[in-house]
Amino acid sequence: EAQVTQNPRYLITVTGKKLTVTCSQNMNHEYMSWYRQDPGLGLRQIYYSMNVEVTDKGDVPEGYKVSRKEKRNFPLILESPSPNQTSLYFCASSSIKAGSSYNEQFFGPGTRLTVL
Amino acid sequence: EDQVTQSPEALRLQEGESSSLNCSYTVSGLRGLFWYRQDPGKGPEFLFTLYSAGEEKEKERLKATLTKKESFLHITAPKPEDSATYLCAVQDSLYNFNKFYFGSGTKLNVKP
């Protein structure tokens, strides 16, 4: 079954304790992305990756890191989490059409993060 | 700055009462506009992609249309199972074509 998986699904942590949220896709997609979703603000893009070792900042990258060492995996790293990073996080992947257009994004089930 | 605005924020319909959701956007050039459906506690699920003004796509009770400045998601004779939050997203074509901009969504509630 084609899918995007994220782990953990729920996480409660404390300020400053480094954490990693994993994301994996089994569709051989080139493009992967991380979003955060907050009430009234919609989905905002944190980082994206066009392929292995190619990443770039989205609109809200501060406080986050990513890496893309394998095509299927795109982990999100919070080196020193703060309470304002409490949010619902989604990973997504997509294949790339000709002419730099994208097909639809497939989203993971989400990770609800609470930073105390 | 690229922006996507959806209206209304919330919409309550009776079963069978047709209506439309709006997504207006300001981008330097549109490479693609995407509609998604999101159920509570789940990730968004793809509905449609539109690429150029005048384009229309249909799926069951849903029909998406696109003009140069906005897109509409028309819902004909909705059923309670259509209740969800509907999101639109745009891909810019000129400066940031690897980025996606989402609206904050329209929460649709269809009463039986």
**What pLDDT was estimated at residue B95?**
67
CB A68 within 8 A of CB A34: no
Distance from CA of A21 to the nearest CA of B (A): 16
> Coil, strand, or helix at residue A70?
coil
Best CA proximity match to B99, nearest among B87, B89, B109: B89
- How far is Cα A25 from Cα A54, in angstroms, rounded to an integer? 17
Cross-chain Cβ contact A106/B46 below 8 Å: yes
Beta bridge partners of B84: B108
Q: Is B3 exposed, middle or buried (0-12, 13-18, 19+ CB in 10 A)?
A: exposed
**What pLDDT was estimated at residue A85?**
98
What is the percentage of chain A residues whose pLDDT exceeds 70?
Answer: 97
Distance from CA of A52 to the nearest CA of B (A): 15
Average pLDDT over chain B reads 93
Cross-chain Cβ contact A42/B46 below 8 Å: no
pLDDT digits over B35-82, tens only? Answer: 999 999 899 999 999 999 999 999 999 999 999 899 999 999 999 999
Cross-chain Cβ contact B42/A90 below 8 Å: no
Chain A residues with beta carbon closer than 8 angstroms to that of B102 = 35, 42-45
